[in-house]
Structure 1
């Protein structure tokens, strides 16, 4: 009677790492592998081909799950409500798909009675945290395996050689060693020449966006209509949210909009150079913000900015299923109740500009805003407002002047040396001229 092996559910993409993981889990851990492939709108040659690759590599079973509608309606919709931009730059491409994939991994583990769940993340990336945190929050009893953290294949060329030795088909070569993760929200590209932060990204890394120089010479206008914070119409044509994302990816990408080249602060403490393409997502966030500017009350809008950063940071750090993130979601939902209206975007040569917005819930009052004869603003109220607004700082200024303290801590024009001490002990003042001279000396 054949030995009954333990089972492991593997998050499988068909890429280099997970292609090696199937064989590794069999050889090194003596496990039967059930692969789970999630369709979140990524580029692929066909998920059936990916499934056959997994089975050919020795997987006991391979589940292909179409997650696109759920991804759009339950994940991207929440990201849009939060205008999610980690470090105010990155619209969370990979971080948004990981919790959804994790949910299906846990479901598969329950279905097949698997003791383990595995992923193909490296030991210094963010995704390992996102997968493991999500899996743990969904079912703390599941044990997690991370082959890429354990094996002795230290470089991608070594990994490629190992794969070829074991008859594993891989989608990369040593000449094109980029690591790419993508979904319907966008693409994340790293490795290869991108690891030099001074090197301009090669043209071949981009697939969703045209080179802005070669984009159409005529601008294109797009009207997005929102209801309760979600777009449901483009230029008068009604679409599902998923359909809106696909359509805007095509329009924005055609005009070369949506590229990001940034230095990113990873959760594990490493600065990394990352390139992204998020044409539809960035355009949607820009339009969504413009509608919020028109509709949301000032204090709500100002407070929401901090909540947006907290939401983006939580999701970036793998806390999708955490109580904090779910609580922030409740706040976001309340801000979207009356967020209905239309925003007009102009795409041209790599840019996306908001050129119009309208809403029945607009708080913009022409009579209060105009400087024309229809002005209804009470100008006489301004004097008393300013007196009360500045009362605290006026009291502070009078006290400091009476005591002879300087009004400004730093007075660049009076600085002489590279580092001179200010009037008060413990205060270091740096003059502009001195800083330039010091920098020039270092560079020389």
Structure 2
């Protein structure tokens, strides 16, 4: 019998398919050809296929690439600053710091750094909301990740818009840059209902609907948020306000949703909108947490995210998965909820569905794109591995990620990044450190 030649074979892995039956294939094999998973199953497949590149997973856990469903990646240049107990850290520290420091070059360099961190942490796709996303796209493609990049629209001048709401015109200018791109997609990102007027929210929606783009927006993150929306004269919930003005729809990704009741969840479900849950950043910022257990009772796609890197300080989803489980359990005083299997699904297929990519990524199935992560199980923190889902949620960390594959291309192998010189990036980030630190420290003293 002649064996069929393919690009990559992964063998000897504990394969978590995250398919509709949540099948686990022990001693599993994955077959990759032309960026796609063309076959998977038991070791019998080794009799059918041959490849120049064969990866021995060495009994590691093989999962779909994780999806960070809400992030502000270039903020990684500022992580660790302003941690001195500043009361209004968003308006009093974050925004003034960005106003002073951000530039095209910093956004590009910081995105390189953040994308490296993600790739080496098992995140293969991320959804962002920031500025100069054309620079972010270049950096993301260089490292080899997949991304949905939301161009921010906000009601005050920012680094890429000298006038309020200039981000919408910026998005229109760079739209063609994303045409026919495999790895990066443009989204429109009105910052929040309290920083974007009704007219501009609807203008962003019209633009997104016209060009079939995702809309990425912060919603109901803060308890008093509905009262901060000037045009919400009836003081209804933020979700009801957005629904009343005709903003919600299937292409809307709602980040946070900390203050959302059951009636709001019904509205989200009927509109087809999605949720990006950010428990770690919200816990650190003391802004609350979403009623995610209740949300899961509805037909709402839910992913998990890190939020900005000054919020969570990390880009990986291992800690976020732990927070996703433990915060809901303590909130409900019920240790039977938010099982590890459900949380791993949220970190993979849940995130893919939230980004509108579930048909292509998020599970290991024939015909899907080969976004795959291998997590070793030989380190002390990974032994024993009785339940791979529990191992991922409660034991694993980024240093256990052995291999990262995106779109059929190996970008991390044996914990080494193959697409960029990490030493060069470290040198560049050290230069930025010495530029940013003095201003960051002086700003902290004023607060």
TM-score tier after normalising by the smaller chain length: under 0.3
TM-score relative to the length of structure 2: 0.21
Greater relative CO, 1 or 2 (CA 8 Å, sep 6+): 2
Larger of the two Rg values belongs to structure: 1
TM-score relative to the length of structure 1: 0.21
Higher strand share: 2
Higher helix share: 1
